[in-house]
Amino acid sequence: MIKEKLEEIREKALSQISESVDLNRLNDVRVEVLGKKGSLTAVLKGMKDVAAEDRPKVGQMVNELRTEIEKAMEEAKTKLESAAREVQLASETIDVTLPAKGSAIGHRHPNQIALEEMERIFIGLGYEVVEGPEVEKDYYNFEALNIPADHPAKDEQDTFYINGEMLLRTQTSGTQVHEMEKGRIPIRMISPGRVYRADEVDATHSPVFHQVEGLVIDENVSFADLKGTLAEFAKELFGEDTKVKFRPHHFPFTEPSAEMDVSCFKCGGKGCRFCKGEGWIEILGCGMVHPHVLEMSHIDPLKYKGFAFGVGLERIALLKYEIDDMRLMYENDIRFLKQF
């Protein structure tokens, strides 16, 4: 009776082992046959009902069956593990002869394109690019530029003050003061950078924007040098046929001061929608450095003269690439940025 029972367990176990398709199923067979509540274990627990003289023979038969089943399981396990490795290797195989997948590569922002072009022009004219701190002292942002304490530009509605002495710079001109104080003359520099003003966000204004300001200090510098330099800059930036026009203006740190217009590079000065029918487009402010500004930086105004100019980087980018809303520059709309 026990012999038939063991043969039945043997046939069923070997059949289940051969049909196991993965290691989880094989383990289920192990538990079902050899576990604490398994069919073969149950036979061993029933040995107490076997006659004493038959127990050694029955025990030997049970042990031989256990060994046979364990061997079959080990062989099946080896085959299943080998097949799993082959599947894994096949899935991880890399054909090194295939072309690489293309990666999404970023590109320069329109602001950066305009800045690099402006830097290239002025470096070609012998200028150096100098950067300064965005958190600036009130003295360098205002007082050293001939802007007294009661000047409207110092009103907190226009300037982000950190405390009574420190602020977020409203212009990069403070960098020029730092360079003048070093006393290394002649100076030919531009100072690009981010500036901050308490403006409402709209199509042409932002509380954070960029400026590029220039400064030249040397002997025998005149307004004619200023005009010639900026005329050359405009031609390099907007085209050889570009003309310039200077209009009197007022800035506290320059005297005389002017605003410079360029002939519309879309219509050649004839008048169009782009220039609002005027034929001219304002792009920057400029002037001769005020003698008092030179004195405050310990430069002799009787020996040295200079000129300065400042242009909004966003304004140049908007004009050059015909963008009609400055907010597009900072919204990170991929449809807009892809055009550059």
Strand segments, DSSP code E, in 174-304 are 187-196, 208-218, 244-251, 254-263, 280-289
pTM over 0.85, yes/no: no
**Residue that is last in its domain, among 41, 65, 92:** 92
* Element of type H or E holding 305: strand 305-312
Element holding 47 (H helix, E strand): none
Q: What is the pLDDT of residues 268-303, one digit of tens each?
A: 777 777 778 888 989 999 999 999 999 999 999 999
159 secondary structure, DSSP code: S
Average pLDDT over residues 182-209: 89
In a domain, 101, yes or no: no
- Of 157, 105, 159, 115, the C-alpha closest to 137 is 159
Confidence of residue 45 (pLDDT cuts 50, 70, 90): low
Residue 280, domain member (yes or no): yes
Instruction: Give CA 73 to chain center in angstroms.
Output: 57
More confident residue, 177 or 164: 177
Segment 7-36 mean pLDDT: 75
Per-residue model confidence as pLDDT tens digits over 103-131: 777 778 889 999 999 999 999 999 999 99
Confidence of residue 46 (pLDDT cuts 50, 70, 90): low
Question: Is 216 in the same domain as 308?
Answer: yes
| CB-neighbour burial class of residue 95 (10 A; exposed 0-12, middle 13-18, buried 19+) | exposed
CATH number, residue 182: 3.30.930.10
Mean pLDDT, to the nearest integer, of 61-68? Answer: 74
Q: Is residue 99 part of a domain?
A: no
Residue 100 resides in a domain: no
Report whether 213 contacts 173 (CB < 8 A): yes
Do 212 and 190 form a contact (C-beta atoms < 8 A)? Answer: yes
178 SS3 class: helix
| Total structural domains within the chain | 2
Q: What is the mean pLDDT of residues 165-183?
A: 93
Residue 249 makes CB contacts below 8 A (sequence gap 6+) with 257, 258, 259, 285, 287
Instruction: Using the predicted structure, report yes or no on whether residue 25 has a pLDDT greater than 70.
Output: yes
Say if residues 107 and 340 touch (Cβ distance below 8 Å): yes
Q: Give me the domain span that covers residue 165.
A: 110-337
